[in-house]
A and B are shown apart, each in its own frame.
Chain A
Amino acid sequence: MRKTLIRTLTFVFGLYFILEFLLPKEIGGNFDKTALRAPAVLYDAESGEYRMYYVGLYNRRTQAVGLATSKDGVSWEKYEGNPVIRSTLFNSADRRGFSSLCPIKIDGGYELYYLGHDMNVPPHKTICWATSGDGFAWEKHGRLEVKGEIPWRQHDELDASAVRRTPRYTKLQALAVMVSDGKRVLFIAHTNARGRTELLRAKRTGTNGEWVVLPEPLPLTGLSATQKITSLTYVEQGDAGELWMYLSDKKLCRARLSDTMAVEFVLGTPPELEAPEEEALEEGEKEPWRGFFRRMWATAQPPWEYEEPVLAEPWRAFFARMWARAQPPWEYEAPVLPEPWRAFFARMWATAQPPWEYEEPVPPEPWRGFFARLWATAQPPWEYEEPDPLQSMDEICVFAGAEGYRLVYSRERGEKTAEDEMAPMTLYTIGSANGTTWQLPTQWAYGGESPIAPALVRGPRSQPTYLSHGFGFMGTVLSVIGAFAIGLGGVNMAIMQGRRVAKGGKGVHNSILFFICLVFMFTATILGKPIIDKVKAAKAKATTEQEARDNVEEIRQEHSWFKFQLAQAYDFVFYHVQLHLGATLFALVSFYMVGAAFRSFRVKSAEAGFLILSATIVLLGQIPLGAQLGPWLPKLGGKLLILFNGAAYRAVLMGMAIAAISVSVRLWLGLEKGMFHGT
């Protein structure tokens, strides 16, 4: 019966962990459920529509490229077949995501240049490309082969002195692509070896399709040493081209290219935000809502007692009733709220669900954002800052629209919850006639979250699995079991040493010493450690030595003499005996190594000769002296470690893993009977 119970428990626990490990934390959800970033717009003259490619984030490390289309550049619709490009799990070019998308239409087809991410392998970002016949179905070609001076790849070859001079690594920042007379030119923003932003150009040669980096970087007049380029877009305006840059310090800049090869290239002055004029707003549009909520928040005064301006019906009656009777809104008799307000409040009341998680129907912006923020932050509405879109953008793209320029940008929308890996992001768009002043809708002055309707919103979210909820609890259970295992070890040791004491004979004093140490450390840890922790905290908190002494004295007074001495004894034994004994034991190993080196490492066969030779190379290669003997020595040592040792170690690991799986499955299914019989 007991064995059956243990087997069943083993099976159930094992099944739980297997399922928990295999199943994702959440199930379902669109590829762009978390965020939409890195927009890039291409105008397709044939179909007369704008195509926006964007990076959709399922989570930070699972990303894909999506497509949306629009006739006017303002209202966008997602392509049904999204995503159009997925990351490749086993290809380090874009295993961890995408950024800086640059789509172009050329030679009857489409090409997309982008930065592929793999944050685990330097240089982390590389230029990649893909092609398509129709802009919907894409074929990826991996990393773009670029010849010439490629400074962002040189970090592997930096010698020690160069590293000392330039401790920062070079890395790619953003890309833009231009088509001029049927030729492609790639603008590459990167951090150079001196840590400054540099703008390079790469040209595709006509004959064999190779990309070559031009040696001279474009002059970036006006860019400071700390500014980095977050987004880069090429916009063709008449005869001249423009490069739009969004900088790391949230500045939007424009550079005019009077010549495609940039004879005059100077950063333009930052465009300004044109706020709607106050008189354009009617008084009733701002108030009474803003004032109403402000007063309700500040005074906790029943709304029906407000003086003018008050809300019109049915709002006045609605809030008055909600305030007075705490009655669910859907039970109200007439006058009732119009939809979607009625449903909105009904749901908020009934489910206590954050408003930003509502499905349709939801109130339009800015109300949706307003309630979302009120819910999430419990912040008084009048303290809300008006977010400046030009200051709150994450990544941008500019394109030539019907009315002049149009800017698409990503920015945070809604609050990051504990379950979210990152703050959710959505794409917005605003327009400008001249690219200098950007027109914002008049309802900007309402407050709350951005009143600009999102151009594209995130896809449906995923749902947590049932197993996810229990995992934290299971972790605690395992911790407790682990703690018991430590105790069990102590009990076993005590039983074994107790038998030796009972039997007596040679070495019995060691067993007696074991019991003395065990009892002493057990008592000192239980009684003394909390006091020592208090003493340390008091010392850390004190600003002067006298204060520290006073604090310690206070703690001494709180406890008995015995307990305090025990605490100090614990501290002494742990830090001045155990630590040094540990170090001493380890130091002794080096003496054994010397003895073994002299007596045992003998060249008794060819294999032993190879072993000693490779050990010598590896040992010398790992110390500075080896580099002094010759630069080839560390390199050869590294090769031995990585190639030969790496291959052998991987083989051993694989063998161990297969054996572990085999044993685990037997244990799990109750086939390994030894453990249940205690044999």
Chain B
Amino acid sequence: MEPDQAKPKTFLERFQTLDRRILYVAFFVFVVGAHFVPIRWPSTPAKHTRALYAAIENAPLDKVVAIDSDWFAGIRAESENQMRAIFHHLMRRRLKFVILAWARNPEGQKFGYDIAADVAEEYGYEYGKDWVAFGMVPKARGAELASMAKDIRGFIQTDVYGTSLDDEEKLPMMQDVENIYDIGLIVSFSYGFDPNWLGFIQGVYGTPFGVAMSAIESSTAYSFVESGQICGMLAGAAGAAEYEQLLDLPESKRPARKPVNVLSISIVYILFAILLGNIAYLTSLGKKR
């Protein structure tokens, strides 16, 4: 038997090999506990959040806004509140909008529709007249976007209920929507934004394009926000909270506050874990030397 193996491990050495289940349980307790802590840190709207706000403020009233609902349950904590805040702004300005849904991500259609219907009730928005949720269409690459840009009704064909977009009686709003020139702004809600929107729509037709995405993927969009190709961005749950602050919504209509608190506490926990891990590592390193 080697002499080192017989030597009992120090606290720091044992701490370094701490059972991960303890970490997980502690994390779980922190996350759940954060839901019950009534913290109200004020959000400072970032420049890119304010830019998206300005883009919606400047969106023409005689065109519709296209909402690309390309998100899924995994990022619900971030995207749901982002979308809710954007819908508040659109309806406050009485802008008409359509919700795009893609077959690769069927959950996006349900979420987009449900949130829009919920907010629409508050503002008296009428389905078919003020907003429409499109049926799902396949989307592989930019060619589909390019095709849609030239003939929206022909490409999408039906709404979420299977009603033809040419149906004047049920969807009167759609009769004024022919092609991309009838779209005043596109806001894409997704995990990570699809650059095909820039290559095939924004770059070709100049339609303003904004994104609302998960915080973890937002780093990929900063270059495009700075270059002006993306007209504004909401990054994660914090972006949603910032937008709610810009809209000056009453406290009861700011659901993004809670996820932001949870996010803040989770990040602090992770940073604390990094710190502890490194303290233990560096201290044990010093002892070895």
Contacts and interface: CB of A to CB of B under 8 A. Distances in A.
Interface of A: 17, 21, 25, 60-61, 92, 96, 118-122, 124, 155-156, 158-160, 163-164, 167-169, 171, 418, 420-422, 468, 471-472, 474-476, 478-479, 481-483, 485-486, 530, 533-534, 536-537, 540, 574-575, 578-580, 582-583, 585-587, 590-591, 593-595, 597-599, 601-603, 612, 616, 619-620, 622-625, 627-628, 631, 634, 638, 641-642, 645-646, 649-650, 653
B274 A625 contact: no
Nearest to A25: B150
A160 B260 CA distance: 17
Contact of B54 (A122, A160, A646): A122
11 contacts: A120-B231, A124-B54, A160-B45, A168-B57, A169-B50, A479-B155, A482-B139, A586-B74, A599-B20, A625-B268, A627-B44
A641 B222 contact: yes
Candidate in B138, B245, B247 with the most chain A CB atoms within 10 angstroms: B138
Given A118-B228, A575-B110, A623-B260, A594 B269 contact: yes
Given A17-B143, A601-B277, A533 B138 contact: no
A597 B228 contact: no
Interface string B108-151: 00100000000000000001000000000111110110111011
Given A156-B47, A593-B270, A169 B220 contact: no
Contacts of B141: 478
A624 B42 contact: yes
B277 A120 contact: no
B136 to A, nearest CB: 11
Given A479-B138, A601-B278, A625-B41, A620 B150 contact: no
Contact of A167 (B41, B43, B53, B277): B53
B235 interface: yes
A472 B147 contact: yes
Contacts of A641: 219, 222
Given A163-B50, A478-B140, A599-B277, 4 more contacts: A167-B247, A595-B24, A599-B20, A619-B270
Nearest to A24: B204
Contact of A597 (B18, B127, B140, B277): B277
A620 B162 contact: no
Contacts of A537: 161-163
A169 B54 contact: yes
B238 interface: yes
Given A120-B231, A160-B42, A586-B73, A485 B140 contact: yes
> Counting chain B CB atoms within 10 Å of each CB, which of A61, A163, A631 scores highest?
A163
B58 A124 contact: yes
Nearest to B260: A624
B212 interface: no
B236 A598 contact: no
A597 B141 CA distance: 36
Nearest to B161: A537
Contacts of A481: 140
A122 B107 CA distance: 34
Contacts of B220: 649
Contacts, number: 223
B238 A624 contact: yes
Interface string B11-51: 00000101010011001000100000000011111110011
B273 A597 contact: yes
Contacts of A533: 160-162
Contacts of B54: 122, 124, 155, 169
Contacts of A583: 73-74, 76
A471 B274 contact: no
Nearest to A119: B208
A60 B23 contact: no
A444 B235 CA distance: 57
A628 B41 CA distance: 8
- A-B pairs, 5 with minimum CB distance: A475-B147, A586-B74, A624-B41, A61-B206, A482-B140
A405 to B, nearest CB: 31
B228 A625 contact: no
Contacts of A598: 18, 20, 23, 273-274, 276-277
Contact of B248 (A92, A167, A625): A167
Interface string B161-183: 11100000000000000110100
Contacts of A118: 228
Contacts of A579: 73, 107, 110
Contact of A602 (B73, B178, B226, B281): B281
A631 B44 CA distance: 9
Nearest to B137: A479
Nearest to A593: B270
A471 B219 CA distance: 34
B27 A594 contact: yes
- Residue among B146, B151, B269 with most chain A CB within 10 A: B146
A624 B236 CA distance: 12
B196 interface: no
A160 B44 contact: yes
B72 to A, nearest CB: 6
A623 B107 CA distance: 27
Contacts of B179: 418
Contacts of B143: 17, 474-475, 478
A654 B73 CA distance: 32
A474 B263 CA distance: 45
Contacts of B150: 25, 468, 471-472, 475
Given A598-B276, A649-B219, A582 B57 contact: no
Contacts of B267: 619-620, 622-623, 625
B20 A119 contact: no
Nearest to B230: A120
Contact of B222 (A163, A486, A642): A642
A60 B236 CA distance: 33
B229 interface: yes
Contacts of B215: 622
B223 interface: yes
Nearest to A594: B27
Given A418-B179, A653-B223, A580 B73 contact: yes
B147 A478 contact: yes
A421 B181 contact: yes
Given A418-B178, A478-B147, A530-B162, A638 B47 contact: yes
Nearest to B28: A591
A602 B268 contact: no
Contacts of B73: 579-580, 582-583, 586
Nearest to A625: B264
A619 B236 CA distance: 12
Contacts of A628: 41
B218 to A, nearest CB: 8
Given A119-B58, A121-B228, A580-B73, A603 B50 contact: no
A623 B43 CA distance: 8
A649 B195 CA distance: 13
Given A597-B277, A622-B236, A120 B228 contact: yes
Contacts of B226: 642, 646
Contacts of B103: 483, 486
A471 B274 CA distance: 53
Contacts of A595: 20, 23-24
Contacts of B65: none
Contacts of A420: 181
A524 B50 CA distance: 45
A649 B218 CA distance: 12
Contacts of A164: 245-246, 248
